[in-house]
Amino acid sequence: MENYFEPCLAPDQLRSISSIGLAHIGDAVFEILARTWLCAHGGATGRGLHRSAVQLVCAESQARRAERILPLLTQEESAVFRRGRNAHVHTVPGHATRAQYGEATALEALFGWLYLGGQRERVNQLFCVMMEEETPCR
């Protein structure tokens, strides 16, 4: 692979990546989408942008938003989501329950899988559904 900015891994390559690996890249994908969403909605200061980004990417928020997209997932996407939720995570942040952290990890794994598979339109579509009812924090 020569273009790491827009990856498009083959299905067998995607299957070889652990759930934690998918969640690792998916965390970054979700973070960039959240930051882009905040900037696009404008009006926040630097400190406000940071606080708003932290609120959007925390496990509780991701878990709540993941519920909005579950009915829209294909069978294959649902399988990746379940695989991410069942990942063996050794530590859970104090501000989230184990269930919330599992859902957040599942969402990140799904976003990582879609991104690495070259399905950026699908990532964006799901993100937009997750953010439909949001108003930017100022």
Active site residues: 27
CA dist 128 and 100 (Å) reads 21
Cα separation values, 50 from 24, 36, 47, 64, 109, Å: 20, 12, 5, 20, 23
Cβ-count burial 88-104 (b if 16+ within 10 Å, e if not): ebeebeeebeeebbbbb
70 φ, ψ (degrees, to nearest 5) = -55, -45
- Cα angle: 28, vertex 29, 32; to 5 degrees: 85
Q: Classify residue 130 as left (phi > 0), alpha (psi -120 to 50) or beta.
A: alpha
